[in-house]
Amino acid sequence: MRVPSVAVWISLIAGLVLATAEKVAAQEVGVKGGFSSSSLHIIDDVEGDQPFLRSRPGFVGGLYGVKSLGSSGRFGIQAEGLISMKGARFDDGDEDGRVALTYLELPVLARFNLTTAQRIGVHLLTGPAFAFRLAASGEEEGGESENLEEGIKPTDVGWTIGGGVNVGKAVIDVRYTHGLLDIGRGEAPPMKNRAVSVMVGFRLR
């Protein structure tokens, strides 16, 4: 199955987030992108939880909207549409390789604003992140890429915790997303996603 390009998915996310923001009268809408460091946690029924594989760098980014709740300005909901590249690198001593996963991720996060100043703001975020697999591939060093979609479930759910800083229209976001579901299927071992990401963005309004 041919997967649409990242540009196509970002365009679709933009339309979805902006349309939703208009409907719910979001106070803040913006775009952000940056770096993620992800891994897969392999769970072995015989030997117990195995150590993390080596982390894999990737891109994460998209759009977000914020809706304030109540009159204090402290609480709100932050909904996002992100392209998130996850997976892991591995080294078993004999060969190196990587597992590359790409998701459409839709976090719905509770937001607590530690400060309410217009110029500089600090906030905390936590909540579920719903993910839909767009692509899954594996590759051994020096070998050809192999489609792994039969071994990776099409959906995932993680829990995100993090925070950010707003300086004028600029946004800096740091977060950790902990996969809650086993994403392996078929002959693939049970495994869960883990990811740390840092994003920089710009508030459109």
Q: Is 180:159 a contact under the CB 8 Å cutoff? A: yes
Q: Helix, strand or coil for residue 169?
A: coil
> What's the CATH number where 131 sits?
2.40.160.20
Residues 6+ away with beta carbon under 8 Å from 138? 97, 98, 99, 100, 145, 146, 148
Model confidence over 164-185: pLDDT tens digits? 999 989 999 999 999 999 999 9
C-alpha neighbours within 13 Å on the C-beta side of residue 181 = 15
Q: How many domains does the chain have?
A: 1
Model confidence over 8-44: pLDDT tens digits? 555 555 555 555 545 545 578 999 999 999 999 887 6
Does 148 map to a domain?
yes
pTM: 0.83
Model confidence over 78-136: pLDDT tens digits? 999 999 999 998 876 666 788 999 999 999 999 999 987 778 899 999 999 999 999 99
Q: Can you give the residue range of the structural domain that contains 98? A: 6-203
Model confidence over 37-85: pLDDT tens digits? 999 988 765 455 454 578 999 999 999 999 888 777 789 999 999 999 9
Does 1 map to a domain?
no
d(CA 99, CA 152): 11
